Amino acid sequence: MSQTNNQTDSYILFELAGTTYGVRSQEVKHMELVEQITPVPNAPRFVEGVVFSRGQVIPAVNLRVRFGFPPQAHTTRSRLIVVETGERVVGLIVDAAREFRNLPAETVQPPNESIGSLSGKYLRGIAIVNERLILLLDIKEALTFAGSEVFDEEYPAATAAASTAS
């Protein structure tokens, strides 16, 4: 999606494994504490489970796991950022979140080629503000997972069940 140089987008910033990320605020529905996640058997590993949010049952995605960081127990600072992309409503579990910031287009660069191709796909851009690096997330990409190549590694139980079924 192209941005004109005059545009300023507003973002919600969050922390993940020591790095600051941003999501466009228009994609964020609300934020909650991380509570009562029900695990879903045979879901991708980065799907920690489901939660009830405003009457809806939504997946809770552990972004640490999604981006390959070592998982960490939830703390009082952990947050569930409920985002909406298209018809989907999904919760993102992050280490901390509280900042809300306008980022003028000039501060944003396209994602660098040198960032690993897998993770690079999840970024819309990188913002540099006061020497601070903010990775801007492309939620749609972050929440899309390809089918089979991730299958074996990510949900062994179902793979076993599936193979006996076929």
Partner 1 sequence: MASTPPISSPGSDFMEEFYAECDDHLVEIRRGLLRLEEQLGELSLDREALEKIFRSFHSLKGICGMAGLQEAEKLAHRAEDYLRALTRQEAALTEGGLDILNLVTQKLEEIIIQRRQGRPSPDISALLEQVAGLNSAFRDGTSETDVPAAGTHYPAQASQQIRAARQQGKELWLCEFRPSPELDQRGINLNSARAQLQGLGEILHAAPRVEKGGELVFAFVLASEAGPAGHHPPQAEGIDFKPLAIAEEVQASPDAGPSTVTATGASTFVAPSHFVRVDLARLDDLMRIMGEMVVHRARLDEALGRVSDRLPSADTRKLHEITHGFSRDLRHLRDGLMRVRMVPIGEIFERLPFVVRDLSRESGKKIRLNVKGQSTELDKYLVERLKDPLLHLVRNAVCHGIEESEERSAKGKPEEGTITLRASTVGETVMIEVADDGRGIDPVEVAASARRNGLQVPDDLNPAELLDLLCAPGLSTRDEADLGAGRGIGMAAVKGAVLDLGGEMELDSRPDQGTTFRLRLPLTLAVADALIISAGGQRFAVPQGAVQEITTATEAAINRLEKNEIVKYRNGVLPLVRLAAVFGLGAESRKEFPVLVIGTGLNAVGILADRVLGQREIVVRPVNDPLLKVPGISGATELGDGQAVLILDSASLAQGARARQRQATAKSL
Please pick, from the candidates 19, 39, 133, 153, the single residue that binds partner 1 as defined by CB under 8 A. Answer: 39
Q: Does 33 bind partner 1 (CB under 8 A)?
A: no
For partner 1, give the closer residue by CB, 130 or 164. Answer: 164
Q: Does 142 bind partner 1 (CB under 8 A)?
A: no
Q: Which residue has the tokens 């660098």?
A: 112
- Pairwise CA distance, residues 89 & 107, whole Å: 29
Please pick, from the candidates 90, 92, 108, 136, the single residue that binds partner 1 as defined by CB under 8 A. Answer: 90
For partner 1, give the closer residue by CB, 28 or 123. Answer: 28
Site for partner 1 in 60-79 (CB under 8 A): 61
- Chain Cα centroid distance, residue 127: 17
DSSP designation for 158: H
Q: Does 134 bind partner 1 (CB under 8 A)?
A: no
Burial class (CB in 10 A: 0-12, 13-18, 19+), 154: middle
The residue type of 85 is T
Please pick, from the candidates 3, 19, 54, 128, the single residue that binds partner 1 as defined by CB under 8 A. Answer: 54
- Pairwise CA distance, residues 158 & 45, whole Å: 12
Segment (H or E) for 121: none
Query: Residues in the site for partner 1, rule: CB under 8 A?
Result: 9-10, 12, 24-26, 28, 30-31, 35-36, 38-44, 47, 49-52, 54-59, 61, 88-90, 98-100, 102, 143, 145, 155-158, 161-162, 164-165
